[in-house]
Amino acid sequence: QVQLVESGGGLAQPGGSLRLSCAASGSFFSIYTMGWYRQAPGKQRELVATITSGGSTIYADSVKGRFTISRDNAKNTVYLQMNNLQPEDTAVYFCNQDRLTGHYWGKGTLVTVSS
């Protein structure tokens, strides 16, 4: 019913950049808050950034000034632009859609930051 498909992960060097995309299926994409979460090895999933239907954003302190979340409602897509990547950013990044029926998740895309 609801599908979220992430893409754009890969290997980056410290200081490099990547842009993640999340393509969402289903109706009423524009009304839902979307988010990016990540899970690093040995750690719990944590919030990276969220964006509301109106464009308001929230960022984890660890990524402020480096990451930017955005959305294109015409394309049913949310993005995460990641700049100045650091090894600590290495994780599987998950796309999330907040609906009344629950939170929906993609399968994730792996981001590895290493020299």
Contact 34, 20 (CB under 8 A): no
Give the CA angle between residues 96, 36, 32 to the nearest 5°: 45
pLDDT of residue 101: 86
Tell which wins on pLDDT, 92 or 1: 92
Terminal Cα-to-Cα distance of the chain (whole angstroms): 40
Q: Give 44-79 pLDDT, tens digit per residue.
A: 999 999 999 999 999 999 999 999 999 999 999 999
Q: Is 76 helix (H, G, I), strand (E, B) or coil?
A: coil
Binned at pLDDT 50, 70 and 90, residue 87 comes out as: very high
